[in-house]
Structures are given as C-alpha cells and as structure tokens.
C-alpha cells in the first residue's frame, strides 16, 4: 500500500539520522508535495508511525520524531531544612562562575535562552521603530518607577494570569535580580531571618549574603516545591520576617507548587504576619500550554498550564511579586519589575538610592515589542522547544548516567536537577573533571547550605545538537567512571 511505502521511507530517514529525535517532520502538505502523493496518503503514513510509536503528533504544532523511551528516572529525594545561618558562599559561587569565560566549551551552566531562542528579529524591529520615532524620548531619564505605558502592559499580562494588580504599584527594574534585592531591602533589616527553599536560586543567596540577612532553609520537594508544613513548623521556632521563593518552575529543580499549596502558603503568611517575595521569572514557560488534552488528569493539567502566581491567591497584600523578561525574551535587556503593593514607595526609594531607575531605551523597546502582539507567538515556540529539549536531555541521562541517578522532569522552564548516586564524586569534583573535557554545568553546592553535594543543574535553553548530546554523555560517563 502506498501509505506503508511512505511510512517505511520515513522510518528509514529517521534511522539514518536525517530526522533526529524531537525534530519536527515536514507538514502533511509539504510532504505530499515533496513525494507527489495525496494528503490522505501522508496522513495515513503519519498515523501508522504514530501507532507504532515512531512519531508523536502535537496539537497545533505538527508531527515530531519520537524521543526514545527512557529508563524510568525517579525524582530526587525531598531536601531537609536547616537552622538559621549567616551565609558565606560568594567564593564558591565565584569559582563556579569562572567557567562562563570559555566560549568554546559546551555550556549546560548558563540558565538563559541562547540567541536562537530569543525573538531577535522582532526585538530588532522594535528597537528600530523606537530609534526612528522616539529617539529623543530614549535619551530622557525615566526615573523609578519607570515608563507608565510599559507598566500598564505588564499589569495587563499579570491580570491575564489571575493577579489583580494596579499599574501604579509596578516598578520597572534592572532585571529580576534588582527586583529581588530592592524588595528584600524594603522589607528587612540586616540580621533579620529570611526563609528560602532548598535548593534555591544561588542569586537569592548572593542577595541575602550581601544584605547581611540570616537564612533558614526550608525542606523542599524537587517536584512540588516548598513544604508548607515544614515552614509552618519553622515559624514556631524562628522569627521569620520574609520567605523568598520560586513557586512556579523553580531554578534549579523546576518544581512547581500546587494551587492548594500556594493558597496555604499565602494564608500562612497572613496568619503569621510575614511577607512573601515571589520570583516568577519562569512562570511564562509552561511546557504544556500548547498541547493540553482534555483527558489529562486535573493535577497534570494544573501543572502544565501557565501556573497562577502566589500573588493570584493573595487577598491581604502579603505577596511582593518579582519577575523579568530575561528568561522569556532576552537576558541582555536587563528589564524586570516588582509589583510591590503597598510597599511600592519603599521599593522605589531603594531603587533610587542604588540605580535611580532603568535605562530608557530597553523600556521603550519592550513596550513597543509587547504592543506588536508577537510575545505570545514567541512563547508558544520556545515552550515547545524547551519541552523537547528537556525530554531529550532526560533520555540521555537515563542512558548515559550511572544506575541510581535521579532527575526532575520539569513541566516548565529549561533547567533540570540531577542527583547522582551516593557512590559518585561530589559535584565540585565532577566539575573539575568535566571542564578539561569541555563540559560546564552548575554543581549543587551553590544552591544551598548543605546536602546538595551530589546534585547538579543543567540548562537546556539552546539548540539540541549532536555535540551537546555528546557533552551530556561525557558527563554521564565521568560520573560513572568516578563512582
Ligand atoms: C530564579 C531566578 N531569579 C532571578 C534571576 C535573575 O534574573 P535577571 O537576569 O532578570 O536579573 C535568575 C537568573 O538566572 C533566576 O534564575
């Protein structure tokens, strides 16, 4: 039969590596044209390959070469919390980040989208329009809180994910890191106790260390995030003023709290009179947004949609929301924001004392880009790509890493948390061995105070190439050899 011949041809192309796992196959119409057959022959051939598991159809997106079934990889164990501590981590963090200096290596360490995962052409067009029509404005100082129209557009996007914010409370910042820092400054004094997840983004720890704050780390599950009951217990023991957290696709684990847990966390903050500083930088990168199927169970559906931020559950002004365009558009823009609620004036005061405000040109550029209506199209493309890259990375981890390796399977974002078996070397030692072989990653030690020595974070926000896959295999081999 004609469709079977076509299916066999396609299969041969896949086996020869012409189409690689995770890659999109030609559309039905393209293939019909290329091979001189009818559309229904192509549809039957693709249906046949889907039944035999060689390809997968993704709603509104196309037909993709299936990613080989993985050995089932379990998620790492939940972490334990720790007592209040004054941090001294800058040296370790600086040592790890020295690896950024080697462009010829394979970089799993950089948690930012590669240029090809940024909407470069559209951002360039937006910049050109600003230069052509608003150049004099771009030379003007826009002090804190920043451009009013950009703040209105951001408030609109936040409203769309359930957050009742007023554009007046938004302060434009130099990336999310400044948003976090000035929010912490607005709410704390040196020596205050701040709770964080374990592991958490090392930038949290850098900010806390630089402000002389005391850190208590809360037990955290690598899939469902912070253990709210553990935080409730710690509130009985320590005078926690602020909890700094990433409830939706945390860095480094990709964990996402359930809506029920988010509601509990916000209620807890209200009852115990502390504030939550929410980092939602990965919130827009839910993988499943474009392929939701009605038969999926409620938990999975909840995990796959753009998660509602903590802020959407807040009725008492407990949550200060921070984010930026660094993961969703481009890290070079250095454009973020805080929705600071009643703390807006203090946050602005902190910003004026440090950077005065954010550069005008990127504000006008992003304002123009958001108005062009392209952002959602871009998000739809990269979400799909990140999902595929995470699946590809996990299939390599399953094959090439030693028995007993665990890893998270995030439903959003582009970072993956791997825990090596007890017999493996600690992650800093592994990094020392991996670098001469041209492979960079971030060892677990920089994401928390203790108990993360056998873990590593890899970022897959870059085109998946044979070299990249080879580099991940090298890492797996080294972990195995050294075990
Ligand atoms: C969780 C998280 N928060 C904040 C930041 C800092 O973001 P920005 O580059 O916008 O300052 C990062 C960057 O890696 C991050 O991963």
Q: How far is the CA of 478 from the centre of ligand 1 (A)?
A: 29
Q: Are residues 161 and 268 in the same domain?
A: yes
Cα of 179 from ligand 1 centre, angstroms: 10
For 210-226, give the DSSP string: HTT-EEEEEPEETTTEE
> Which DSSP string corresponds to 359-395?
-HHHHHHHHHHHHHT-HHHHHHHHHHHHHHHHHHHHH
Residue 35 lies in a domain: yes
The answer as to whether 449 is a domain residue is: no
- Please tell me the distance from the alpha carbon of residue 167 to that of residue 179, in angstroms, as a whole number: 16
Q: What is the pLDDT of residue 71?
A: 66
Relative to beta strand 455-459, strand 193-197 is: unpaired
Ligand 1 atom closest to the Cα of residue 201 is 1
Higher pLDDT, 319 or 19: 319
Same domain, 295 and 200: yes
Same domain, 43 and 132: no
pLDDT in tens, 294-338: 445 555 555 558 999 999 999 999 999 999 999 999 999 999 999
Q: State residue 295's pLDDT score.
A: 43
Distance 323 CA to ligand 1 centre (A): 8
Mean pLDDT of the chain: 92
Arithmetic mean of pLDDT, 250-262: 97
What is the whole-number distance in angstroms between the Cα of residue 139 and the centre of ligand 1?
27
Same domain, 313 and 171: yes
Give 376's contacts (C-beta < 8 A, 6+ positions apart). Answer: none
CA–CA distances in Å: residue 121 to residues 61, 150, 359: 22, 20, 21
Q: Looking at residue 44, what is its pLDDT? A: 92
Per-residue pLDDT at 95 exceeds 90: no
Residues 221 and 139 in one domain: yes
Q: What are phi and psi of 418, to 5 degrees?
A: -115, 135
Q: Which of 251, 448, 457 to mutate to test the pocket of ligand 1 (most atoms within 8 A of CB)?
A: 251
CA atoms in the 13 A half-sphere facing the CB of 107: 18
Read off the CATH number of the domain in which 39 is found. Answer: 1.10.10.10
The residue segments making up the domain with residue 21 are: 2-65
Q: What is the pLDDT of residue 482?
A: 76
pLDDT at 289 over 60: no
Ligand 1 atom at shortest distance from the alpha carbon of 179:
11
Give the number of the atom of ligand 1 that is nearest the alpha carbon of residue 178: 11
Residue 226: name the closest of 250, 207, 202, 209 by CA: 250
Would you tell me how many other CB atoms lie within 10 Å of the CB of residue 62? 16
Percent of the chain with pLDDT over 70: 95
Q: What is the pLDDT of residue 91?
A: 83
Q: Tell me how far the alpha carbon of residue 201 lies from the centroid of ligand 1, in angstroms.
A: 8
Which of 355, 374, 393 delimits the end of a domain? 374
Q: Is residue 198 part of a domain?
A: yes
- Which SS3 state, helix, strand or coil, does residue 53 take? coil
For residue range 355-384, what is the model confidence (pLDDT) as tens digits? 999 999 999 999 999 999 999 999 999 999
Dist. CA 246–CA 256, nearest whole Å: 8
Domain boundary among 374, 391, 407: 374
Whether 233 and 345 map to the same domain: the answer is yes
* Three-class DSSP category at 95: helix
Q: How remote is the CA of residue 176 from the centroid of ligand 1, in Å?
A: 5
pLDDT score of 293:
44
Percentage of the chain with pLDDT > 90?
Answer: 80
Contact between 225 and 197 (Cβ < 8 Å)? yes
In a domain, 255, yes or no: yes
Same domain, 138 and 53: no
The verdict on residue 478 lying in a domain is no
In whole angstroms, how large is the CA radius of gyration of the chain?
23
How do residues 190-231 score in pLDDT, each as one tens digit? 999 999 999 999 999 999 999 999 999 999 999 999 999 999
Residues 6+ apart with CB under 8 A from 466: none
The torsion angles phi and psi of 179, rounded to 5 degrees, stand at: -55, -45
Ligand 1, pocket-test mutation among 93, 324, 334, 337, most atoms within 8 A of CB = 324
Report the separation in Å between the CA atom of 245 and the middle of ligand 1, taken as the mean of its atom positions: 12
Question: Domain tally for the chain?
Answer: 2
pLDDT in tens, 152-170: 999 999 999 999 999 999 9
**394-453 pLDDT, tens digit each:** 999 999 999 999 999 999 999 999 999 988 889 999 999 999 999 999 999 999 988 899
Q: Examine the pLDDT at 263 and tell me if it is beyond 90.
A: yes
Q: Residue 304: its pLDDT value, please? A: 58
468 within some domain = no
Tell me whether residue 414 is in a domain: no
Quick one: 243 and 166 in the same domain?
yes
Domain assignment present for residue 127? The answer is yes
Nearest CA to ligand 1 atom 14: 111
CATH number at residue 160: 3.40.640.10
Examine the fold and report which residue of 334, 354, 374 is the final residue of a domain before the chain moves on. Answer: 374
Q: What is the mean pLDDT of residues 120-140?
A: 96
290 pLDDT tier (thresholds 50, 70, 90): very low
Same domain, yes or no, for 150 and 61?
A: no
User: What pLDDT is recorded for position 171?
Assistant: 98
46 and 154 share a domain?
no
What confidence score (pLDDT) does residue 53 get?
86
Which residue has the CA at smallest separation from atom 7 of ligand 1? Answer: 176
Q: Which of 32-36, 98-102, 445-449 has the lowest mean pLDDT?
A: 98-102
Question: What pLDDT does residue 291 have?
Answer: 46
Query: Residue 292 above 50 pLDDT?
Result: no
User: Which of 408 and 79 is assigned the larger pLDDT?
Assistant: 408
How remote is the CA of residue 178 from the centroid of ligand 1, in Å?
9
Which residues' Cβ are closer than 6 Å to ligand 1? 111, 175-177, 201, 203, 246, 251, 279, 281, 324, 326, 331, 336
């Amino acid at each position: 039969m004609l469709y079977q011949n076509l299916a066999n041809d396609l299969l041969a192309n896949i086996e020869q590596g012409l189409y690689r796992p995770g890659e999109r196959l030609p559309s039905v119409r393209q293939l019909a044209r290329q091979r001189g057959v009818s559309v229904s022959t192509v549809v039957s051939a693709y249906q046949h390959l889907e039944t035999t598991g060689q390809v997968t159809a993704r709603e509104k997106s196309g037909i993709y070469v299936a990613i080989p079934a993985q050995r089932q990889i379990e998620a790492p164990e939940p972490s334990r919390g720790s007592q209040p501590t004054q941090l001294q981590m800058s040296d370790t963090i600086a040592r790890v980040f020295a690896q950024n200096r080697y462009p010829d290596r394979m970089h799993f360490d950089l948690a930012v989208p590669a240029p090809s995962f940024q909407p470069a052409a559209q951002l360039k067009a937006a910049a050109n329009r600003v230069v052509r029509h608003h150049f004099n404005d771009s030379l003007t100082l826009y002090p804190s809180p920043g451009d009013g129209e950009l703040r209105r557009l951001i408030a609109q996007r936040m409203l769309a994910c359930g957050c009742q914010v007023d554009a007046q409370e938004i302060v434009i910042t130099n990336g999310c890191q400044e948003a976090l820092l000035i929010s912490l400054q607005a709410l704390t004094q040196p020596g205050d106790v701040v709770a964080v997840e374990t592991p958490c983004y090392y930038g949290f720890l850098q900010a806390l260390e630089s402000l002389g704050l005391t850190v208590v780390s809360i037990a955290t599950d690598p899939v469902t995030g912070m253990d709210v009951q553990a935080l409730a217990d710690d509130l009985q023991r320590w005078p926690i003023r602020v909890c700094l957290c990433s409830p939706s696709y945390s860095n480094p684990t990709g964990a996402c709290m359930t809506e029920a847990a988010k509601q509990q966390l916000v209620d807890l903050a209200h009852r115990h009179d502390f504030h939550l500083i929410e980092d939602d930088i990965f919130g827009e990168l839910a993988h499943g947004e474009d392929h939701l199927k009605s038969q999926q169970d409620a938990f999975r559906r909840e995990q796959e949609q753009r998660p509602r931020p903590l802020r959407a559950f807040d009725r008492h002004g407990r949550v200060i929301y921070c984010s930026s365009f660094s993961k969703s558009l481009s890290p070079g823009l250095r454009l973020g924001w805080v929705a600071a609620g009643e703390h807006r004036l203090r946050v602005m005061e902190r910003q004026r004392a440090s950077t005065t405000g954010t550069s005008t040109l990127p504000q006008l550029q992003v304002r123009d880009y958001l108005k062009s209506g392209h952002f959602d199209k871009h998000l739809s493309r990269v979400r799909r790509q990140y999902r595929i890259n995470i699946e590809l990375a996990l299939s390599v981890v399953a094959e090439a890493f030693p028995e007993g390796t665990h890893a998270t399977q995030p439903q959003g974002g582009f970072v993956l948390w791997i825990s090596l078996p007890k017999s493996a070397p600690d992650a800093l030692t592994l990094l020392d061995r991996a670098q001469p072989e041209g492979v960079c990653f971030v060892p677990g030690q920089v994401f928390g105070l203790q108990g993360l020595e056998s873990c590593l974070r890899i970022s897959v926000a870059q085109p998946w190439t044979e070299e990249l896959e080879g580099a991940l295999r090298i890492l797996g081999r080294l972990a195995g050899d050294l075990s």
